[in-house]
Amino acid sequence: MARANRRLSSRARYTAYVDGPDPLAPPLDLTEALAAIGEDVMAGSSAEAALREYLRRGGADRPGLDELARRVAERRRELTSRNNLDGTLREIRELLDRAVLAERKQLARDVDMDEGDRALAQMQLDNLPASPAAAVGELDDYAWRSAEARGEFEKIKDLLGREMLDQHFAGMKQALADATDEDRAALREMLADLNALLDAHRRGEDTAQQFADFMAQHGDYFPDQPTTVEELLDSLAQRAAAAQRMRNSMTAEQRRELDTLAQEAFGSPDLMDALAQMDENLRALRPGEDWSGTQRMDGENGLGLGDGTGVLQDLADLDELADQLAQSYQGSQLDDVDLDKLARQLGADAVVDARTLQRLERELRRSGALRRSDDGRLALTPQAMRQLGKEILRAVAETISGRPGGHEVRRAGAAGELSGATRAWEFGDTEPWDVTRTLTNALVRTGGSGGPVRIEVGDVEVQETEARTRACVALLVDTSFSMAMEGRWVPMKRTTLALHTLVTSRFRDDDLQLIGFGRTASVMQIEELVGLDARWEKGTNLHHALLLANRHFRKHPDAQPVLLIVTDGEPTSHLEADGEVFFDYPPHPATIAVAVRELDASTRLGARTTFFRLGDDPGLARFVDGMARRVGGSVVAPEADDLSAAVVGSYLDSRRNGAFGGWGRDDDPFG
């Protein structure tokens, strides 16, 4: 047993989960995203633009890139409005004031002091210049009588040294708070070795071994532990450039004060010389960093040199994140977002939101909903069209079912004869179960264990029924520019997609043809119509559309013709005998005559016609009313948002109310 445990332990290795997708995250539901993308595509956007727009906007319970960008901008405003860059000068002034006050107290207490010396010392303290740098310079050789005052004054030099180093090496101010002479000597040695490394690298020498030796000796100064000299350069240059931007952002007076004070850092100019040499090397090796930028900061919180440099680095990170989240540059993608920087600036929740968006984009591209067309553009796939159509049809069904006498669309075909085929059960189905297929599915799923058979929803299959009469349907949709201009473009496409989905999923024996008509007419595939852009062209060629519809009806002589016409304008163009397009507005009598002739031909073929009149144009109303009376058809004048329900309802009414011989109320496809 012990041997078996040892074998098991030698095979199993467990470590902390560090990175990658959340293993406990629920599967992503792409339904909302596909619906939103589909709406934008129908409104005229490309699939690529629609995808990016959804990722920017986000979903009902999912923040998008715009929300993350807003939080980035808010964080930036917070940093610039709360802080200013005079913290080191303030701190030096406070130390100077404490030193002078302590010295004055000592002069007052020192009763044995010569009065002349006392008066001279007090006069020197009374006449210190207002400039902190000048005051520090005058007191540099002052004979302090107070040990406390001398200590406060010496803190100024120590503070300056630590701040100068903190500008270039984050955290150095705290690390050197209690530095000894030995610590300072080690620091100078590190700077000398670093400049030697940078000089060699600048000359183009192979510095791999020199870098390894440098890190072995001085690696404690670099907590991020760079693994190559290039990584070291990146880190140092980003910090040095931020320090330069901070200097650029100060007033000329502040720069003069700090330049003068810097010579007192650690009581020696050596530190400034070493840092200046390092900056020169970094500028030469990383000229692409922002060495000239400025930033206005007007807050109340004074930042020291090190903290101010850190804030300038934060601002650079936030600006970079803003660009990444905007996704406005050529070739941008969500994987460009720097999650480490996002975590530092906005916290772990923002990283979760960004990862979710990245995952959503990948899933949308991998799911089969989007594909690259032959010309390289992203497009919705037929699978996505079906999904979008189902969602639209579900909404249409809810609208129809909410009306008096309305029924659920999913019950289509329930009263027909059994076809012998089966399909998976879907919510709303009332067809009889195929018991054999259902039990077989349950047994296959459970492995036939011999115990009681438990049936789950996914096991159920129903018997498909046949429609008793086939329909030959022509949906004519107006694609003239007025449809887009009046806000009817997307409702028209939603209607087309809803009817296409209903016919192809529930009335598969029916033959639906989609015909778009503007200046001319053409038969269109559903993908083509859904992605159709609005075009500025004059003309509403109902004559050409009816010619194509009648050709469709003649190809299916054994089917019942159903003609559905959606338009918001009178016919203003028609085809001449030579194939040329004639256009005139107001409508020319010849245009009306040839449209009437083709509609009469539809009637002779047995078509039941319904006009869907959009808008309140009196001329259009007179025209469609007259045409409907002529052929015994009907007119529906829905609002644009109700167009889908009106067209689908009309199609189903044609099937239900006697347009197809032998159909009665019991054959209602709604059930």
Q: Which helix (H) or strand (E) holds 560?
A: strand 560-567
Residue 140 and residue 264 in contact, taking contact as beta carbons nearer than 8 Å: yes
Residue 549 and residue 513 in contact, taking contact as beta carbons nearer than 8 Å: yes
Domain co-membership, 461 together with 477 = no
**Residue 481: partners with Cβ closer than 8 Å, 6 or more residues away:** 518, 534, 535, 536, 537, 538
Return the pLDDT at 601: 95
Q: Given a cut of 80, is residue 384 above it in pLDDT?
A: no
Return the pLDDT at 358: 86
In a domain? residue 302:
no
Angle, in degrees to the nearest 10, between helices 31-42 and 47-57: 130
Domain co-membership, 650 together with 553 = yes
In a domain? residue 616:
yes
Residue 2 C-alpha from the chain's centroid: 55
- Give the chain's end-to-end CA distance (angstroms, integer): 66
Question: For residues 385 and 380, what is the distance between their CA atoms, to the nearest angstrom?
Answer: 7
Q: Which tens digits make up the pLDDT trace of 403-419? A: 543 333 333 343 455 65
Q: Given a cut of 60, is residue 435 above it in pLDDT?
A: yes
Domain co-membership, 334 together with 375 = yes
Question: For residues 96 and 102, what is the distance between their CA atoms, to the nearest angstrom?
Answer: 10
Per-residue pLDDT, averaged over 12-29, amounts to 57
Token pair listed for 226: 């760079």
Mean pLDDT of the chain: 83
Write down the residue that tokens 């397009």 correspond to.
Answer: 581
Domain co-membership, 262 together with 183 = yes
Question: For residues 478 and 469, what is the distance between their CA atoms, to the nearest angstrom?
Answer: 29
Residue 610 and residue 564 in contact, taking contact as beta carbons nearer than 8 Å: yes
User: Is residue 238 packed enough to be buried (19+ CB in 10 Å), middle (13-18) or exposed (0-12)?
Assistant: middle
Q: Given a cut of 90, is residue 541 above it in pLDDT?
A: yes
Give the three-class secondary structure for 634: strand
**Residue 227: partners with Cβ closer than 8 Å, 6 or more residues away:** none
Closest CA to 619 of 572, 563, 553: 572
Return the pLDDT at 25: 57
Q: Which of 430, 446, 466 is the last residue of a domain?
A: 466
Q: Which tens digits make up the pLDDT trace of 493-520? A: 888 888 888 888 878 888 999 999 999 9
Closest CA to 175 of 157, 189, 154, 161: 161
Domain co-membership, 455 together with 579 = no
Return the pLDDT at 430: 58
For the entire predicted model, the pTM comes to 0.64
Domain co-membership, 442 together with 476 = no
Domain co-membership, 222 together with 332 = no
Residue 610 and residue 499 in contact, taking contact as beta carbons nearer than 8 Å: no
Q: Which tens digits make up the pLDDT trace of 468-484? A: 468 899 999 999 988 88
Confidence category of residue 36, pLDDT binned at 50, 70, 90: confident
Return the pLDDT at 171: 84
Return the pLDDT at 410: 37
Q: Given a cut of 80, is residue 624 above it in pLDDT?
A: yes
Domain co-membership, 485 together with 451 = no
Percent above pLDDT 70 for the chain: 85
Q: Given a cut of 70, is residue 425 above it in pLDDT?
A: yes
In a domain? residue 399:
no
Domain co-membership, 104 together with 154 = yes
Sign of CA dihedral 199, 203, 208, 209: negative
Domain co-membership, 230 together with 275 = yes
Q: Given a cut of 90, is residue 402 above it in pLDDT?
A: no
Domain co-membership, 502 together with 599 = yes
In the chain, the number of structural domains is: 4
Return the pLDDT at 103: 93
Q: Within 507-560, where are the H helices?
A: 526-530, 542-554
In a domain? residue 50:
yes
Confidence category of residue 645, pLDDT binned at 50, 70, 90: confident
Count of CA atoms in the C-beta half-sphere (13 A) of 163 = 26
Q: Give the range of the structural domain holding residue 441, as residue numbers without chain letter.
A: 417-466
Q: What CATH number is associated with residue 655?
A: 3.40.50.410
Return the pLDDT at 474: 94
Token pair listed for 335: 């994987």
In a domain? residue 396:
no
Question: For residues 400 and 606, what is the distance between their CA atoms, to the nearest angstrom?
Answer: 27
CA angle 579, 624, 520 (to 5 degrees): 20
Question: For residues 91 and 236, what is the distance between their CA atoms, to the nearest angstrom?
Answer: 26
Q: Which tens digits make up the pLDDT trace of 293-316? A: 999 888 899 998 889 899 999 999
Q: Which tens digits make up the pLDDT trace of 40-73? A: 777 666 677 778 888 888 887 788 889 999 999 9
**Top-confidence residue, 636 or 506:** 636
Q: Which tens digits make up the pLDDT trace of 237-289? A: 999 999 999 999 999 999 999 888 887 776 667 888 889 999 999 999 999 99
Per-residue pLDDT, averaged over 171-192, amounts to 85
Give the three-class secondary structure for 613: strand
Return the pLDDT at 55: 84
Burial 495-530 (b: 16+ CB within 10 A, else e): bbbbbbbbbbbbbeebbbbbbbbbbbbebbebbebb
In a domain? residue 19:
no
Return the pLDDT at 459: 85
Q: Which tens digits make up the pLDDT trace of 558-571? A: 888 999 999 998 99
Token pair listed for 548: 């194509």
Q: Which tens digits make up the pLDDT trace of 199-246? A: 999 999 999 999 999 999 999 999 889 999 999 999 999 999 999 999
Q: Given a cut of 60, is residue 669 above it in pLDDT?
A: no
The DSSP secondary-structure symbol of 302 reads: E
Domain co-membership, 92 together with 112 = yes
In a domain? residue 322:
yes
Q: Which of 380, 405, 433 is the last residue of a domain?
A: 380
In a domain? residue 184:
yes
